[in-house]
Amino acid sequence: MEYAKIWEKTLGPNEEVKYEFSVSKRYRKILMVATVIIGILFFYLPPLAIGIALLGLFYFGFYLKVANAYAFTNDRVLIHKGWLSTKLISTEYQKITDVTVHEPFISRIIFKTGHLTINTAGTGAHEITLRHVERPYELKKKLDGLRTNR
């Protein structure tokens, strides 16, 4: 498991991670390359060019993956946000009322990603949105399978 250190702090005694993922690798790579290219376009201002390129490399090459860890366990959905300062969101399967998949045109065509929105009882607002995940329909099927096999 790629995020084992994160999950070992939060899993219950009989709980195990069934599936873990993060922001799509393709999404991160395309935007990292685009940011570096934009940085290079500012070649006449070397400090700005280097700054933009380094910022893109850090944000898309490292931060997005580390700061967005998602897992489906046999009991609940876990969302770990942040890198230096962190936030954990945990939603038990029986509290989930509906799951929505949204594939914006550009995200679907260029990045091959979409968003998975998980709503729970008690509010009308979208509570959990997993943005830019690969194969969102497959993720929904996995989540639905885990929810019904309990």
Q: Output the pTM of the full model.
A: 0.90
Instruction: Decide yes or no: CATH 3.40.50.2300 for domain 17-148.
Output: no
Angle between helix 46-58 and 25-41 (nearest 10): 180
pLDDT (tens digit per residue) in 25-61: 999 999 999 999 998 898 888 999 999 999 999 999 9
Residue 144 near residue 131, CB atoms below 8 Å: no
- The partner residues of 19 in beta bridges, in order of sequence, read 72
CB atoms within 10 A of CB 14: 7
For the chain, what are the domain ranges? 17-148
Candidates 50, 56, 53; CA nearest to 32 is: 56
pLDDT (tens digit per residue) in 121-135: 876 666 789 999 999
CB atoms within 10 A of CB 133: 22
DSSP 142: H
Q: In what order do the strands lie in the sheet with 96-102?
A: 96-102, 113-120, 128-134
